[in-house]
Structure 1
């Protein structure tokens, strides 16, 4: 259909103005004890680590104009030990233990720099602004003591497999008395009961990051006969103090008290 033949242009709203609304009463759980499944905060940690990296630029660098940084976490894994299925009481899966958190990520850096232009003259240096993006990797393991958990994680249950057999009496055949029998299980059959638990895996959220860095060129050389000591470099050594805050969570079932509708409206 040609644009001229359209009765209504759907790309343009036919109405503009204020839309009316009115409050409606939400459908809620009846009052009383209720169990909900929600993300529970296990711990909030301030993690510190140090980085040293060598950055090689594709062009000669006259000077650094700006550096934008972003912390990227690609792995944040709390290692949980498995426990048997049986439990002594309701708190058994939530036993407080010292656990280790494996963290892996990058510091993404976008570096804006000036590189000399071929049009430069003896009286000055003409330059072009370019950018170079690199990712500086880091990886560390931090220990969370049992007392430092705001809420202990629910430990995963072991999967299990059990085999069982049936008794079978068979004839021994020639060379044995007729009253004697071969008493055992049947090797031609296999019986098993298996159980798998689909446990909740802890996960992380990144809340804040702070970076203190120190960069220094290691191969800078001046232009020949440059009265202003202008020069360029290709390699940069940087040292970073990286500090970031993460929240460790796990989906758990929590008992809460549901309020009656009138109390809900008062809140």
Structure 2
């Protein structure tokens, strides 16, 4: 009698099944019956080159004889186009200008040679690496190439009903309390579920200068040899970002 595992694993994944040729038949796609169908697509609102400058102090855990290589990449953690809202019925499209907020890091993997203890006449070293993230944050004002659909304001309106009540003992019978009933609450509200613009990172260019600030020469070692623990870096950062928004557009008349 087969055990439980053999009954459950009825297909041996270590053996490939035979693959035979499959047949296919062309199928006509289902298309919209209208002449100018509407589609929902990301609309390119504009491409923008943003320039920022960074200064950072970097400390190494080990003495550095020399830097061998630095690999860099830009990481964007926030790209937000801030647009003002409009009321329902107003023109919801505008090209700006609008503030564009950018926030992120420059990730750097620094490969460096660290001198080994020993004879300073011939310097031996070990190849090590240090990974750091240099943060940046900036705001720039952009005018869009295509209009963005602005968010529509939510509304909330209260309303009451008139109510007449007898005043009770101590008041003339013909007099009444005329007002609304505070024991009831009535409201009409609307909510607009707007589409948030988003970004794509197209390209980046990084120009950097890294300079040691505490270099010390070996006492009687080779001329010019030394080590350091700290550097200051100056970075000029150029980013190209694409701003998009999902919008409903018409395909228009065919040419």
TM-score higher than 0.5: yes
Instruction: Give the aligned partner of residue 97 of structure 1.
Output: 96
TM value normalised by structure 1: 0.86
SS across alignment from 1:187: coil
Compute the displacement of 1:230 (Å).
1.3
Q: Say if 1:72 and 1:12 are closer, same or farther in 2 by CA, change over 3 A.
A: farther
For residues 8 and 188 of structure 1, what CA distance do their matches in structure 2 show? 69
TM-score, with structure 2 as normaliser: 0.90
Structure 2 matches for 1:80-119, cutoff 5 A? 80-87=83-90, 92-118=91-117
Within 2, Cα distance between the matches of 1:47 and 1:212?
14
1:166 deviates by: 0.7
Unaligned residue ranges in structure 1 (runs of 5+): none
Match of 2:55 in 1: 52
The CA deviation at 1:167 is 0.8
| Contact residue 77 and residue 203 of structure 1 kept, 8 A | yes
Counterparts in 2 of 1:191 and 1:7: CA distance versus 1, 3 Å: closer
- Tell me the number of residue pairs that the alignment of Structure 1 and Structure 2 aligns: 250
Do 1:67 and 1:112's aligned partners in 2 also have CA atoms closer than 8 Å?
yes
Aligned partners of 1:29 and 1:258 also within 8 Å: no
Distance in 2, Cα, partners of 1:236 & 1:165: 70
Match of 1:235 among 206, 230, 235: 230
Deviations 1:237-259 (A, max 9, x none): 11111001000000100011487
Q: Deviations over 1:163-218 (max 9, x none)?
A: 01011110111221001111110011111111111100000000100111111001
- The one of 176, 183, 205 equivalent to 1:188 is 183
Which of these residues, 187, 193, 202, is aligned with residue 207 of structure 1?
A: 202
Q: How far apart in 1 are the matches of 2:18 and 2:62?
A: 54
Q: Whole-Å Cα distance in 2 between the matches of residues 218 and 18 of structure 1?
A: 69
State the 1:7 CA deviation.
7.5
Q: Quote the residue 1:151 is aligned against.
A: 146
Q: Is the 8 A contact 2:120 2:220 kept in 1?
A: no
- Determine if the alignment matches structure 1 residue 40 to structure 2 residue 43: yes
C-alpha deviations, 1:93-140, integer Å up to 9, x for none?
11332111000010000001111123x424311111111000000000
Helix, strand or coil at the partner of 1:112: strand
CA–CA separation in structure 1 for the residues paired with 2:19 and 2:26: 22
Is the alpha carbon distance of 1:114 and 1:24 closer, same or farther for their aligned partners in structure 2, counting shifts above 3 Å? farther
C-alpha contact (below 8 Å) 1:31/1:257 kept by paired residues:
no
Look up the match of 2:168.
173
1:219 and 2:246 aligned: no
Structure 2 residue runs without a partner (length 5+): none
- 1:7-63 deviation per Cα after TM superposition (whole angstroms, max 9, x unaligned): 864145334798776654433333511111110011100111111111001111111
The answer as to whether partners of 1:34 and 1:258 remain within 8 angstroms in 2 is no
Alignment RMSD: 2.3
